[in-house]
Structure 1
Amino acid sequence: MLNPRATNEDLTAKARIRNAAMDLFAQYGESRVSLRAVAAEASVTLGLVQHHFKTKAGLRDAVDQLVSEYFYQAVHSIPPTGTATEVASARDDAVRRMLRDNPAVVNYLRRTILEPEPTQQKFLERLVELTRNEVVSLRESGLASTTRRESTQIVAILVRQFGELLLAPMIDAVWQMVSGPDDADKPHLTITVDE
C-alpha cells in the first residue's frame, strides 16, 4: 500500500504542515490546537501555514482528505476478485492493518467520531461517501448483494471496520479491572454484521 503521508524527507512544506496538524489534532483534538502550534510542529512560520491553508478549517479539510486517502488506499490494495465474503474480509483486514500501522489515524478517528464537533460532520460524510462508492462498485461487479438495502450495507461495513477501533479503549480498561494473574491474553473483539 502506498503511504498517503510519505516521509518528512519526501514532503513539501504544505504536506509537512498537514501531517503535523493530523498528529496534533489526533493527540489533543482540533479545538485545542492553534495554527501557531501546527507551524511550530512542522518547523515553518505561521504565515506559511496561513498561505497554504488559510484557516484552521482549511487545514482540517486537508487532514480529513489525508485520512480518507489512507482508507481509500487500504481498500483498493485488495482487488475485487474472489467471492463477496473473501473480498469483504480481505478489505476489512487491509483496513485493520492500515489502522494498526498508523496510530495517528486511529487517534484522529477516535476524536473525530467520538468527540464530534459540528465542523467534523464533513469528515463522517466523506467516509460514508467513500463506503457508498465501494458498495456501489461491489454491487455492480456482483460481489455484494443487490437485494439488501444499500444503506444497510454501508452501515455494516462501517461498523465492521470501526467497531473494534472505537471500543478498544473501553475493552482495555475493563480487561485491566477484571483480569487476574492467570489470564494470559486479553480477548480480541471481532464484530460481524450479517450482510
Structure 2
Amino acid sequence: MAPPARPNRGDARAALVAAGRNLFALQGYDATTTRQIAAEAAVSHALLRYHFSTKAGLRDAVDEDVLGSFADAVASAREEGIEHGSLAEVGRATALLFGADRERRRYVRRVLIDGDDRAAALLTRLVAGAEREVERLLPQPSTLPPQERSWATYQILFLILGPLLLEPALHTVLGDDPFAPETLAERSKANQRLLRHGLLA
C-alpha cells in the first residue's frame, strides 16, 4: 500500500496549521515539537521553518485561524437566512465557531486551561470581540453604566465558554454530546432569551 501523498507547497501551510492546532490541543504547546507537527502534517521540517520560522510563529497562525473564522461563521449564519446584525446572527455564528468545530473547541479549551500568557492573550482577544458585539447590539449603550457594560461582555463570554470548558463533564452529566446540533440550537436559543429578558426579570 502506497504511503499517503504529501501536500504540495501551497497546501503545506494549511496542513501545518491543522496539525499544530491538533497537537497543541492534545499535548499542550510546550510538549509539542516542530518535528512532531511536520510529521503529523506529512511535510518536511524545512517547510515548517519556511512558512512560520518558529513554533511560536505557527502558534500565532493557529490563533488567527481559530479566531479569524468568526467572519466565516457570520457569513454562514446569513446564508441560513438569519437577520443581519441581530442577536440571533451572533448566537448562530458563535455556535458554528465554538460549537460545530470540535478541533477548534478543543484547542481553545486547552489554551485557556493551560493558563499561561497565551491564555491571557487569547482571552483578551475574545473579550475585545465580545465588547464590539455588546456595543453593536445594545439599543443605547450609553444608558448602561460602564462597569455594567464591562461585565456584560464577560457574562456573554461565560455563556459561550462555560460549556466549552466543561464539555467532558457535561457529556457525562447530560448523557449526550453537549455540542450535538439539536442541543447546541436549544442552548443558543436559551442564551438569547436570557440576554434579552434576564433570568429573574
Matches within 5 A, 1:127-138: 127-138=126-137
Aligned to 1:48: 47
Aligned to 1:147: 143
Alignment TM-score, normalising by the size of structure 1: 0.72
Q: Secondary structure at the match of 1:15?
A: helix
Moved more, 17-26 or 98-107: 98-107
Q: What is the CA distance between 1:77 and its match in structure 2?
A: 4.5
CA distance in 2, matches of 1:35, 1:127: 27
Aligned to 2:70: 71
Q: Secondary structure at the match of 1:30?
A: coil
How many pairs does the alignment contain?
172
CA distance in 2, matches of 1:65, 1:159: 21
CA distance in 2, matches of 1:110, 1:161: 12
Q: What is the CA distance between 1:153 and its match in structure 2?
A: 2.3
Deviations 1:18-53 (A, max 9, x none): 111111112222122110011111111112111211
Percent identity, aligned pairs only, is 30
Aligned to 1:122: 121
Matched, 1:28 2:27: yes
8 Å contact 1:23–1:104 — kept in the other structure? yes
Higher helix share: 2
Q: What residue identity is the alignment partner of 1:170?
A: A
Alignment TM-score, normalising by the size of structure 2: 0.70
Aligned to 1:173: 172
Q: What residue identity is the alignment partner of 2:117?
A: P
Q: What is the CA distance between 1:169 and its match in structure 2?
A: 1.5
Gaps of at least 5 residues in structure 1 are: 1-7, 177-185
